[in-house]
Amino acid sequence: MKNILKLLPKILMILGGLTVVGVNLAIAYIMFAPDNLPKPFYLMYAATADQAAGGVAPSDETSLEPSVAQAAEAPEIVATPVLERGQGFMVDTGTKIINLVDQTGRKYLRAGVVLEFVPQDPEYYSMAEEEKTAYETAFNEEMGLKLPVINDIIITLLSSQTYESVYTAEGKEILRQKILEQVNEQLPENNVIFVYFTEFVVQ
């Protein structure tokens, strides 16, 4: 009896070790063995690599259903047409004579600015001529109402420039980009695609 009691801790340690090894082997089998082999249960993953990238596994029919439903619920996205220079609507904001930032107050900029807008309706270029004319008339009326806002944006930007910041070609390009960004930011319902300087004199 005493001998059995002495051996009991060793027996328990051996049984515990065998249990740990068995559990580890079972976990490894469930995780890494192919799914076509018999298992007590199969692992289910929240998202596969294809699903994470926006796709679905073609063999999983149930996984297709949410994606199809999501596609049906997604709003239709209308692509903005990519236009080359001269294909949009031109809005001439006129010539501005602005004092530049200068201690003497004698430096000024004379600039003519024309903005080119993309039509808001992507179907514009496939419209009949009468529809195009009506669309252009409505656009010009809208721009007439927004011209004070546009002029304020341009004048504010021009008057914040220095002689050194605008007399180079690089400076003109930076100013052109600033005008485009500011107008699009303050008039998000419209879309300026190009800014033209019809006159640019720095003195």
**Sites in the chain below the pLDDT cut of 50:** 47-68, 71, 75-78
pLDDT score of 22: 74
pLDDT score of 7: 74
Delineate the domains of the chain, giving CATH numbers in brackets.
1-49 (no CATH), 89-202 (3.30.479.30)
- Burial (CB count within 10 angstroms: exposed 0-12, middle 13-18, buried 19+), residue 171: middle
Give the 3-state secondary structure of residue 106: coil
pLDDT score of 41: 57
Q: Whole-structure pTM over 0.95, yes or no?
A: no
| Two tokens, residue 187 | 């008039």
C-beta atoms surrounding 164 within 10 Å: 13
pLDDT score of 115: 95
pLDDT score of 110: 93
C-beta atoms surrounding 143 within 10 Å: 19
